[in-house]
Structure 1
Amino acid sequence: MKLTSKLLAATALCAATSAGATELEVTHWWTSGGEAAAVAELANAFNANTDHEWVDGAIAGSSGVARPIIISRIIGGEPMGATQLNHGRQAEELIEAGLLLDITDVAEANGWMDVVNPSNLLSACTVDGRVYCAPVNIHSTQWIWLSHDAFEKAGTAVPANWDEFVAAGPALREAGVVPLAMGQQQWQTNLAFGALAVALLPEASWRAVNVDKDASVAAGPDYTRVFEAFDDARKLAVGSNVNDWNMATNMVITGEAGAQIHGDWAQGEFAVAGQVAGEDYSCLPGLGFREVLDTGGDAFYFPVTDDEDIEAAQKELAALLLSPEVQVAFNLKKGSLPVRGDIDMSAANDCMQKGIEILNSGGVLPSADMAFTQDTITQIDELMTTFWNTPDMTVAEVQESYAKIIASAD
């Protein structure tokens, strides 16, 4: 893959000060099979189209493990050349401290303001009118992934929505299938709660809590419905004794589990396993109830450096990440949607096409990374995990605690 002449011209401003190859350490938490295949597209493109070298700094473990390590290195004066974080509010304090590179010149030279869709992805990278990150994809979490083999074993039709899935739970159990696969990390249980909230709430109620931080709505009857569904989910997941999300996805791939509530990056694992959307598995955005997605995802940030060669390499990487060729190659492997609205994604599978259609129709919501600070997200993570692992904790008790967190959220 070679970059277009337009992109090469746009990156000339970055390369002009660079003399010879520069090694650029890039940290990220993409270590599953599908994720590794996707990040290899970025590394190969950087190595092939610049005079620099991608030095891979993969950090095994979840984002909750990797993110503190990344931030600690930047604050501690041992920064990497570039790092993945979720676009949103995770880097606010680093930007305020002057520790991240302003890449507004790259964004302007490459016309990001005209091609990033939806525009709030670039807004999430912008502070006081200056751009500090390069968004690379759109990840949405409101999906349920369903194993065709599992439902065939159970002798039931593949569900069309969450309620039908809950009703199929007993048949799955009787067939020796765990109804719902769920990893044991905090962020996974909170992800499932968030997906249920988007699927089951009136949008006005969802926005009242997640945008306006209205604790009275969080304590009200609309949210009671969500917590009751979350209670169903924890019962359906009994026997799902795995930790990492990709292990839970593998349970669906192998038919050991009927379904998984998870983000669209699960598609990368299905692809590596050679499974075909619509034939081997099905996907339901909005858990089959709502044609809506949130617009979370990943972005790359670039710590400030005194080395002009490293800064030039950082800006070349930033430009390359949003090039049409790289956007297509990376997102097809990652299972995510591209941040550019002007590229050909006809090679995408059925599930990705569903996501693209929803995105183009305007059915999008802000992600939790944009709505809440990391402190608030951590509090919710911990609460949802406590409820998930405490069978005698009631719906009323967890809802009351949740409303208190929303009341103090920022």
Structure 2
Amino acid sequence: MGRLGLLMAAVAMPLGGAALATDLEVTHWWTSGGEAAAVAEFAKAFDATGNKWVDGAIAGSGGTARPIMISRITGGDPMGATQFNHGRQAEELVEAGLMRDLSDIAAEGSWKDVVYPPTLLDSCTLDGKIYCVPVNIHSQQWLWLNNEAFEKVGLPVPTNWEEYSAAAPKLQAAGILPLAVGQQPWQTTLAFQVLLVALAGPEAYTAVFGGKDAEMAAGPELAKAFQAAATAREMSKGSNVQNWNDATNMVITGKAAGQIMGDWAQGEFQVAGQVAGEDYSCLPGLGVNEVIQTGGDAFYFPKVDDPEISAAQAELAKVMMAPATQVAFNLKKGSLPVRGDVDLAAANDCMKKGLDILAKGNVIQSPDQLMSADDLTQVNDLFVEFFNDTSITAEDAQARFAKIVSNAS
């Protein structure tokens, strides 16, 4: 059977007299409180089939986990299933013939008829074949606010970026950090991208990241986003935490007034017993351009030479797309389901906002769907440097960004 690490051979356990139960290692980077609660829904649903979810969580973030996952797959030690984001992150693995074709399972489950928007399934498709299961829609276009922080300084809860940034001096004077930002490289890039979409507009974002429009990247519309990023840099001084969920916790506990972060932050608020619309507020598109970015997570299944593992992989793919699993997982995760035919009556105030925006069709693609991993790494490196070195002006950063865009593949 070869080296399969924690991916164990079949466990002899009769199911209905004929089927076998199989341990399946699933690697992912969901380790925060809210994420763990969500992934437990996948594990519970898969275990109910008689198989066994073997959790392969890798602490850190996607940037930490992906190289480990890729190394194992290319090194002949594949897991049973692994998380990647929607987009081009697994493209080379697919092209190398290392990932399983799921087209037959997708056809059986009519995925093309139920996945919305269709771009989610397009991101799993190469040369007409489907290689992954999209499991959620995660949008980074959100500002999360602690309502009590603004009450303490005698200000109404902001309704847009301008009101929020204008409140920074009062918040700072009261000892409240205006903006929490963790030190993981992708967090500063996320903040910039959200500012870009909100202040320069969705069309400008798509032209730059999708169309590689270097002229737009160097132009006056993008200058607004870079000036706002400089303001955000000032607002986040003293945000000495590493992980995104630690920054979210600063907002939950009132140490910080707000955070620009994806809708996965909702899971942390829920675990903390916070109520959307009462304890905290959420502003999609920073209250300026309300859009949903169709990023999120997908699961790929490395090819393995073991029929029992292959059968368990197929079972997990079906379970992840099942309506009941989609609802249970996404309610805990704070994300939106990829199926357009499920009932989310239990959605909270913030999730309802997201569903409404999605229903209107106000969607944009995620950076991972538009740019290569190498190009996005260069963008990440730029914004890490920008947020940590105040000698770099907004103008300097914009010029460097435009150069990255001009050379992007």
Deviation (angstroms), 1:175: 1.0
Is 1:144 equivalent to 2:143 in the alignment?
Answer: yes
Q: Which residue of 1 aligns with 2:43?
A: 43
The code of the aligned residue for 2:258 comes to: A
C-alpha offsets along residues 22-75 of structure 1, whole Å, 9 cap, x if unaligned? 110000000000000000000011001x12111000001111100110011000
Is 1:321 equivalent to 2:314 in the alignment?
Answer: no
Cα distance in structure 1, aligned partners of 2:191 and 2:382 = 13
Unmatched 5+ residue regions in structure 2? 1-14
Cα distance in structure 2, aligned partners of 1:147 and 1:371 = 33
Counterpart mapping for 1:158-197 below 5 A = 158-197=157-196
Q: Which residue of 2 aligns with 1:85?
A: 84
Q: Which residue of 2 aligns with 1:308?
A: 307
Cα distance in structure 2, aligned partners of 1:218 and 1:312 = 48
Q: Which residue of 2 aligns with 1:28?
A: 28
Counterpart mapping for 1:271-350 below 5 A = 271-350=270-349
Is 1:211 equivalent to 2:191 in the alignment?
Answer: no
Task: State whether residues 296 and 366 of structure 1, in contact with CA within 8 Å, keep that contact through their aligned partners in structure 2.
Answer: yes
Task: State whether residues 19 and 309 of structure 1, in contact with CA within 8 Å, keep that contact through their aligned partners in structure 2.
Answer: no
Q: Which residue of 1 aligns with 2:12?
A: none
Cα distance in structure 2, aligned partners of 1:28 and 1:78 = 16
4+ long deviations beyond 4 Å: none
Is 1:245 equivalent to 2:244 in the alignment?
Answer: yes
The alignment's TM-score, normalised by the length of structure 2, stands at 0.95
C-alpha offsets along residues 152-184 of structure 1, whole Å, 9 cap, x if unaligned? 111111100001001000110111100000001
C-alpha offsets along residues 308-357 of structure 1, whole Å, 9 cap, x if unaligned? 11001001100110100000000000000000000000101000000000
Aligned pair count reads 394
Unmatched 5+ residue regions in structure 1? 1-14
The alignment's TM-score, normalised by the length of structure 1, stands at 0.95
The code of the aligned residue for 1:388 comes to: F
The code of the aligned residue for 1:20 comes to: L
Deviation (angstroms), 1:85: 0.7
Q: Which residue of 1 aligns with 2:132?
A: 133
Task: State whether residues 139 and 293 of structure 2, in contact with CA within 8 Å, keep that contact through their aligned partners in structure 1.
Answer: yes
Q: Which residue of 1 aligns with 2:10?
A: none
How big is the alpha-carbon RMSD for the aligned residues of Structure 1 and Structure 2? 1.1
Cα distance in structure 1, aligned partners of 2:113 and 2:383 = 39
Cα distance in structure 2, aligned partners of 1:167 and 1:107 = 49
Cα distance in structure 2, aligned partners of 1:349 and 1:167 = 28
Cα distance in structure 1, aligned partners of 2:203 and 2:233 = 26
SS at match of 1:24: strand
Cα distance in structure 2, aligned partners of 1:70 and 1:375 = 17
Q: Which residue of 2 aligns with 1:408?
A: 407
Deviation (angstroms), 1:266: 0.1
C-alpha offsets along residues 182-241 of structure 1, whole Å, 9 cap, x if unaligned? 001110000000100110113332222121101011001111110000000000001111
Task: State whether residues 266 and 333 of structure 2, in contact with CA within 8 Å, keep that contact through their aligned partners in structure 1.
Answer: yes
Counterpart mapping for 1:44-59 below 5 A = 44-48=44-48, 50-59=49-58
Cα distance in structure 1, aligned partners of 2:319 and 2:335 = 18
Task: State whether residues 133 and 298 of structure 2, in contact with CA within 8 Å, keep that contact through their aligned partners in structure 1.
Answer: yes
Q: Which residue of 2 aligns with 1:3?
A: none
